[in-house]
Structure 1
C-alpha cells in the first residue's frame, strides 16, 4: 500500500470512529429521520465518547422510563385499572353486597362515570380488595395469569402487544451503549415486575413503582410477605424523584415520559451538572393510536407541553417521528 493510500485508509478509519455522531440506519429503525432521532443519537454519542467534554462513565449512565403512555398504551384506561376492575368482577360472587355498594356497584354495571364519581376514596377501596389480603406470591400469580391473556378493548391485542416499537428500540440502543435502564412508573411495582423482563428486557430489580404496605409473617409454618390494604408510596409526580433516590441511588442522565406526572422526574434529571436528556412522548396520532394531551383523564400532558421546550426537552410527535407504533 502506498503512503497516500495508507493515509486515506487511516482517514477512513477515523471517520468510522466519529460515525456515532450521525444516525446509523439500524440504531432506531422505527424512528423517522429528524430532530428527535438525531437528538437521541447525538446525546448518546456525546456521553459515551471517551475523552469528550460530555463523557459519562458507564456506572453513571442511568436512564429512567415512565411506563403507562411511554412504553405501552394507557388509553382508554390504565392497564392496571383494567386489571383491578376485572378482579372486582371475578371476586363479585363472593361479595353479594357489592351489587348495592359503591364503587363496586358501578364497576359491576360497567358504569365508568359512576366509578369516577367515587373519586380517590372509591379507587382506594377498589385497590384494597383487588391488590391486598394475599401473599406477594399469590398476587404475582394472579397478575401474571391476567396479563398473559388480557386484551385491549379496541384492538383485541394482548396488552403486552400494545407496547411501542420505537421505545423498545430506544431501550435496546441505550443498553447497547452501557446504560442502566429503569422503569419509574406510577403503576404498582408488584403489578409490573412479573412481566417487564419478558416484554421490555428490564428485570424486576430495575422497576420502581407505587406500592402498598406489607408485612412479614409465617402462615402454616411457611414464611410469607402479606399485602396490606394501605398505600405505602405513590410513585407519581414529585414522588418519582423520591422513588429514584430511594431505589436507584443515582440521579439519571436521561428521562423519558409522556405526561405531567413525569414532569418532576424530567426536571430533576435535566437539572444535573453535565449533559442530560429529557424526552416527552406526545400522543398526537389518532389514526394509529390515540390523540390526547391537555384534557385527558389518563396521561394528561399540559404543563410539560408548554414548559418542556423551555427546559430543552425533546417533544416527540408519534404522528411525525415514528414510522410504526406497535411491533409487527
Structure 2
C-alpha cells in the first residue's frame, strides 16, 4: 500500500542518514541502535494518540513477546475483520448493492419484462423508495438475478471491471478509495507481527475476492463471505464452476462464527467489526482461551464520513454497542481516534 511504501522509504532515509553520521564520526553503529530506530517508527500513524491506539499496541506487544505469560504462537494469531463499515464505508447502502443495481440496468435489454415487474421496475426507474418497499424478498430477487447464472470466472471479470471505475454517488470517489486508512495500517501492523488477517463479511465472498488483495493485502483464500451454491461442470473438457440461484451461506450474525469455523478452523484472537451483525464474531473471539482483542469502529464523524449507530438502516450499532461497553471491549471513535479517514 502507498502508506507502507512511504513509511519504508522514510525509515530507509533516516537509517542511511544515521549510519552516515556515525561513519563520519568514526563511531560504529550497533545492532541495538538500529533496533531502537525501527521500534520508534509509529506503526499506526493515522491513529491519534490515546487509549484506543495504546490498547492496540499494548495488546500486540504483549501477545507477541515470548517472555509474556500471554504469548500466542504464530499459528494461533488469527485476526478477523468485517468489511462493510469496518474496512470501508457502507452508506447509504452496501457498496455491493450498487454493483447489483448497475447490473440490473446493464442486463435490462435482455429482460424487457423487468420494465413492468417489481422490484426490477423500481431499479430501472431509480425509485429507491419503491425498491425499499419490496423488502428482503425484493432485494433477494435482485441479488439472485445479478449474482447467479454465470460461471465463477465470468462473475470475477464482471466485478473486476466494475470496481475499477465505479464511483460513490455522493462522495464522487472510487469505492476502493473509500477504504479506511487507519484500518489499512492496523491490518499491516498485525501482519508485521505475524498475525494472519481474514475478512469475515456479510458481503459476497466472490464479490470481495477480485480486489481484496490489492486493496487490503488480504489474499483470496483469506476472504470469507456470504455465498451462493455452486456446482462443477466438466464442460466438454473445459471445466467450469457454475453459480446457482440458491443461497449457500449468509455470513452475517450467527453465520460469522459458522463461516470462521468452516474456512479457518481456529477461533480468532483479534476481531474487528462495526455493527450488531458482527456481535457473534466478537463473542466467538472472546471465547478463545488466549488473550483476545475485540474492536468496534464507531461511526461518529458526520463531516469526514457519516455519523450513525443505533437507528441506522445500514450498520445498526445498538445491542452490540451496549454489550461492548458493558464488557469493556475497545470502541474506536472515528471522529476522535482517527487523524484521517480515507487514504
Q: Between Structure 1 and Structure 2, which shows a larger proportion of helix residues?
A: 2
Give the TM bin, normalised by the shorter chain.
Answer: over 0.9
Q: Name the count of aligned residue pairs.
A: 311
Structure 1, unpaired ranges of 5+: 1-12
Partner of 2:309: 293
* 1:222-279 alpha-carbon deviations (Å, 9 max, x no partner): 1100000011100000110010000000000000000000000001101222310000
- 1:219 offset after TM fit, Å? 2.8
Q: Structure 2: how far apart are the matches of 1:272 and 1:217?
A: 40
The within-5 A match list for 1:145-160 is: 145-160=161-176
Q: Secondary structure at the match of 2:156?
A: helix
Structure 2, unpaired ranges of 5+: 1-31
Q: Does 1:219 align with 2:235?
A: yes
Q: Structure 1: how far apart are the matches of 2:330 and 2:318?
A: 15
* 1:141-187 alpha-carbon deviations (Å, 9 max, x no partner): 00110001100111211000000000000000000000000000000
Structure 1 length as normaliser, TM-score? 0.92
Partner of 2:12: none
For the Cα contact (< 8 Å) 1:278–1:312, is it kept in 2? no
Q: Structure 2: how far apart are the matches of 1:221 and 1:25?
A: 54
The within-5 A match list for 1:229-308 is: 229-308=245-324
Q: Does 1:199 align with 2:215?
A: yes
Partner of 1:96: 112
Q: Structure 2: how far apart are the matches of 1:274 and 1:249?
A: 15
Q: Structure 2: how far apart are the matches of 1:97 and 1:219?
A: 31
Q: Secondary structure at the match of 1:68?
A: coil
Q: Secondary structure at the match of 2:149?
A: coil
* 1:174-215 alpha-carbon deviations (Å, 9 max, x no partner): 000000000000000000000000000000000000000111
Of residues 303, 314, 319 in structure 1, which corresponds to 2:335? Answer: 319
Partner of 1:67: 83
Partner of 1:9: none
Partner of 1:7: none
Partner of 2:152: 136
Partner of 2:183: 167
Of residues 111, 130, 134 in structure 2, which corresponds to 1:114? Answer: 130
- 1:218 offset after TM fit, Å? 2.8
- 1:220 offset after TM fit, Å? 4.7
- 1:77 offset after TM fit, Å? 0.9
The within-5 A match list for 1:13-92 is: 24-92=40-108
For the Cα contact (< 8 Å) 1:79–1:159, is it kept in 2? yes
- 1:287 offset after TM fit, Å? 0.3
Q: Secondary structure at the match of 1:308?
A: helix
Of residues 233, 244, 247 in structure 2, which corresponds to 1:228? Answer: 244
For the aligned residue pairs, the C-alpha RMSD in angstroms reads 1.6
Structure 2 length as normaliser, TM-score? 0.88
* 1:108-127 alpha-carbon deviations (Å, 9 max, x no partner): 11111211111111111111
